[in-house]
Amino acid sequence: MISNFAGEFLLHPCALEYSGATCSHRCCYCFASIRNKNISAKLRETFNFFNNLNSGESVAKRLFRAGFAFCMSNRTDPLSDNNVADTMILTDILNNQPNGVWWQTKGGKRQYELLDKLSPNKNCIYITITTPRDETSKWIEPAAPVSSSRIEFAKECSRRGFFTVVALNPLHRDWCTAKEAENMIADLKAAGVHNFYFQELHISKTEEAVLEPWRRERMPDLAANRRNADGSNYTADIAEEVMKDRTLNVFVANMPFGTEMFVEARKTLGRCFPTQFDFINYHLKNGKDTYTFEDFYNAVCCHSDLKTFCETDIGALGGYVFCVNRAAWREDKSAQHIRTFRELLQLYWNDYRFSASPQNNPLFDDYGGEVDENGNLILVKNNAS
């Protein structure tokens, strides 16, 4: 099924995503299958989307026709045994479209067959490696390729010239120690991989309450992951250490550091959505002490064609708000009826309950809620960060 990539707005460069059927990799921590055990590929709808691409004015079709990049896939693995046959068919369709494609996968039995079909000129490959230990990967991801296979796949992607990202996602100290992460990254760097994505393991209380016994058995101590003995964040500390190597691009959501990862990815993907790092990079390179929404908007929509698109009535965008911030959707009737991405960006700027809001980055402070003449929040540089 093809949908707007609403949940990752400002965190991911792709505007759209495809999700197949519930993934057969059986990762114990999989947020998608914990929330929904019966995800359907809806392949007929997907084929209809492409067969009738030039008719209809859905937001998704308008985004695709405008050339925005496409993610395969955030909620299911395109190379899992139960999805790979459909993926191969869709790959032939996507190869005939101009849109860049960002592949998110742990790999599978036909991974090199997929690579043979793809051009590095418009495809980025993101590979999740949760642990360097095969025995651990077999335990927590029982039907996925073992870690050593994924490491070799990442190296081969790099050798073939693909923009390659390795994601330590989710990262937990029981699965990957700081030293293991350091050694694995050094090994991958030697093979030409320079992009690394870090995200801690996060299972909400609601999700934890409904975990099936086999998942709970494999899940580590969730509370033990986040903080080191000195109170610092385990994931952020590892990422910050990796960042000392200026030849590497590092991503951690809402981190107080810039990254060139998406700047580089856009060279492959072509037209992309803005991300929070467009603003963070702007601040770190050309920053001021005080920021308005217009500063933010001009930084994330730095290309005139993107700004024009963001100011165009694209259709009903209230679903973006509902997906990420249901409280805002309920409380603000105007948020239910927004029709431009400028309006959506304005909501993110003004409401910290959107996780990707600049208010949630340690680089900035809301300065007591002061607003400008347009009623938009004023952010100031946090000198303590």
261 and 297 within one domain? no
Structural domain harbouring 343: 276-381
CATH at residue 195 = 3.20.20.70
pLDDT of residue 81: 95
The last residue of a domain, from among 245, 269, 293: 269
pLDDT of residue 226: 66
Can you tell me the distance from the alpha carbon of 30 to that of 32, in angstroms, rounded to the nearest whole number?
A: 6
**206, two tokens:** 């609601």
Predicted confidence band of residue 203 (pLDDT cuts 50, 70, 90): confident
Asked whether the beta carbons of 128 and 169 are under 8 A apart, the reply is yes
pLDDT, tens digit (0-9, with 9 covering 90-100), for 128-186:
999 999 999 999 999 999 999 999 999 999 999 999 999 999 999 999 999 999 999 99
180 and 107 within one domain? yes
Predicted confidence band of residue 347 (pLDDT cuts 50, 70, 90): very high
Q: What region does 56 belong to: left with phi over 0, alpha with psi -120 to 50, or beta?
A: left
pLDDT of residue 228: 74
Can you tell me the distance from the alpha carbon of 385 to that of 383, in angstroms, rounded to the nearest whole number?
A: 6
128 and 32 within one domain? yes
Asked whether the beta carbons of 134 and 112 are under 8 A apart, the reply is no
Question: In this model, does residue 208 exceed pLDDT 90?
Answer: no
233 and 162 within one domain? yes
Predicted confidence band of residue 224 (pLDDT cuts 50, 70, 90): low
The last residue of a domain, from among 213, 243, 269: 269
- Strand 290-291 versus strand 364-365 pairing type: unpaired
The last residue of a domain, from among 269, 286, 303: 269
Please tell me the pTM assigned to this model: 0.94
221 and 72 within one domain? yes
99 and 42 within one domain? yes
pLDDT, tens digit (0-9, with 9 covering 90-100), for 70-123:
999 888 999 999 999 999 999 999 999 999 999 999 999 999 999 999 999 999
Mean pLDDT for the stretch of residues 374-382: 93
pLDDT, tens digit (0-9, with 9 covering 90-100), for 263-296:
999 999 999 999 999 999 999 998 789 999 999 9
197 and 75 within one domain? yes
124 and 37 within one domain? yes
293 and 261 within one domain? no
243 and 322 within one domain? no
- Burial of 207 (C-beta count, 10 Å sphere; 0-12/13-18/19+): middle
Widest CA span in the chain: 59
Number of structural domains found in the chain: 2
Question: What is the full DSSP assignment across 247-302?
Answer: TSEEE-TT-SS---HHHHHHHHH-S---BHHHHHHHHHHH--SEE-HHHHHHHHT-
Asked whether the beta carbons of 25 and 77 are under 8 A apart, the reply is yes
CA 86, distance to chain mean position in Å, is 23
pLDDT of residue 341: 97
253 and 357 within one domain? no
Amino acid at 28: C
Mean pLDDT of the chain: 92
pLDDT of residue 385: 60
78 and 202 within one domain? yes
pLDDT, tens digit (0-9, with 9 covering 90-100), for 237-261:
999 999 999 999 999 988 888 999 9
